[in-house]
Structure 1
Amino acid sequence: MLGNDKAVFDLYCTGEDGEHFIIEMQQISQDFFKDRTVFYTSRLINRLVRRGVKGNTYELPEVYFIGVLEFELDEFHSEKYYYDVALLEKETKEVFYDKLGFKFLIIPNFKKEEAEVTSYMDQWMYTLKNLSKFDKIPSCLDIRVFGLICDIGKVANLNKEDMISYEASLKRKRDAESIRLTQERIGFQKGIEEGMEKGREEGIELEKRAVAIKLKAKGMALANISEVTSLSIEEIEKL
């Protein structure tokens, strides 16, 4: 929605390389939906564009719109469940501008059953369509990625009492982890302090030996050297 000259999205993310993503979940079809996606991406680009001297090059940020839709985007393509839209040169079909894109996932158009799921895109579509029905992670999904999503879905469906119990359990885990990290920090700091003290003592000992060597070379009596450096006569004799 729009208000106070500011666009508000369902989810706004930035990628590792500085890309910007607008992610929307839409359940009901609406007029001029495509216009709306272009409007939102344009507003975001305008908001992100550099101002002043740095903006003189017209360099624009990468912006992508991702729509997860519960309705058909095009009634003439009822089997198409994934749209990857970019600015193309019509004749060659080559991408004309690669820093603006629109991707749409059409949930009702995805008809594959678990046994038919093969690609990574299929895994995402199957999860988005059936997550609320999962009582365990289907074998067709990569548990390294979709295990966390399924856990989040389970938490979202907890009743009030279970949610309180879950939050209490989570608090205990966080408290335990906080205590562990604190103890590690204290132990690490103590180790540094002990190491510094040991190093200081070893430095003093080396300095004493260096003084003793110089005095011994000058012919000072060992007893006098011992008195000056606090080293024993036996230690001085070995120098």
Structure 2
Amino acid sequence: MAKYINPYTDFGFKKLFGEEANKDLLIDFLNQLLPAHHQIADLNFRNVENLADLSAERKAIFDIHCKALSGERFIVEMQKAKVKYFKDRSLFYVTFPIREQAQTGEWNFRLEPIYFVAILDFEYDEAEERRKFRRDVALKDQDGDLFFDKLHFKFLQMPLFNKKENELKTKFDKWCYFLKNLESFDHIPNILNEPIFQKAFGTAELASFTAQQRDNYEQSLIQYRDLKSALETAVEEREVEIAKRMILAGSDNDFINQMTDLPFGYIEKLRAELKK
């Protein structure tokens, strides 16, 4: 039995980052991702579970209304997700905090800045994108110049974060190391033995949960594992189909392995099947 929760479960994610008592954890984490002019002084949650639209799908998404140190207001949409068409959904989800800013009567259409932050425990889309652990995306023109400075996407593909304890240089590195390895820790590593992480470990320790919280977490963990298994099967099936097409197109095994990550022995097996 693990000592600490899995932070990618709905329960674990909300426990660490979605409770009023743990706002300091969320502020510290987000401030490692946000630019200097949008460092957070305070934040407020909006309970999306009470919203009429897509309440079931958005239960692991937090609408976070932030106040910067400068006094400016901005919005963070934060989620962890294991879904198909992830990019499409990400773009769709940011339409919620955009349209919710609409005002009745006379309005000049001035919007507060929006950041979409996604912590992913899977790798998405094409093979070349698997090399990028962190992607900071904004609207730019054909010359690569920033066109609009009020909509930013920040994607973290956690499986691609592979730094060891002795390689952690920044607070951001430490947070990623914490999230990536939390469920496997049996004690607080020396590199994370500082107040903010001590609180995070205390929050995540299963021994501190009530019987009801423990039961809720176990149910959330089962749902997480079932969904992860289904998605991994879907990804594997897709890679097999890609490999078959590449074989028929004349690609060699090295290139197919590079593009799909399928083992060489399995690629040879597919070749034999296609010759029948």
Indicate conservation of the 8 Å contact 1:21/1:64, yes or no: yes
1:25 Cα offset (Å): 1.1
Q: What percent of counterpart residues are identical? A: 30
CA deviations 1:150-186 (Å, max 9, x no partner) are: 11111477473997xxxxxxxxxxxxxxxxxxxxxxx
State the distance in 1 between where 2:147 and 2:94 align: 17
Aligned CA RMSD, in angstroms, stands at 2.8
Does residue 68 in structure 1 map to residue 123 in structure 2? no
Match 1:44 to one of 93, 97, 107: 97
Gap regions ≥5 residues in structure 2? 1-47, 215-276
CA shift digits 1:39-95 (9 cap, x unpaired): 110122011222212x1x11012111111111112421323211111112231x332
Q: 1 or 2 for the larger relative contact order (CA 8 Å, sep ≥6)?
A: 2
The residue matched to 1:76 in structure 2 has which SS? Answer: helix
Query: TM (normalized to structure 1)?
Result: 0.58
Q: Which amino acid aligns with 1:52?
A: G
Maintained 8 Å contact 1:72/1:78: yes
Write out per-residue CA displacement over residues 102-123 of structure 1, whole angstroms, 9 at most, x where no aligned residue: 1111111111111111122211
Residue 174 (structure 2) aligns with: 123
Mapped contact 1:137–1:143 kept (Cα < 8 A) = no
Partner of 2:145: 94
Q: State the alpha-carbon separation in 1 of the partners of residues 171 and 109 from structure 2.
A: 36
Measured after TM superposition, the shift of residue 29 of structure 1 is 4.2
Aligned residue among 133, 136, 153 for 1:81: 133
How far, CA to CA, are the matches of 2:53 and 2:210 in structure 1? 38
Structure showing greater radius of gyration is 1
Amino acid at match of 1:108: P
> Are 2:69 and 1:14 aligned?
no
In the alignment, the residues of structure 1 paired with residue 188 and residue 67 of structure 2 have an alpha-carbon distance, to the nearest angstrom, of: 28
Distance 1:15 1:156 in 2: 32
Q: Does 1:25 align with 2:80?
A: yes
Matched to 2:131, the amino acid is E
Q: Report the count of equivalent residues.
A: 158
Q: Which runs of 5+ in 1 are unaligned?
A: 164-239
TM-score, normalization by structure 2:
0.51
Is the Cα–Cα contact under 8 Å of residues 118 and 140 in structure 1 kept in the other structure?
no
For 1:49, what is the secondary structure of its paired residue? coil
Q: Which residue of 2 aligns with 1:227?
A: none
Paired letter, 2:183: S
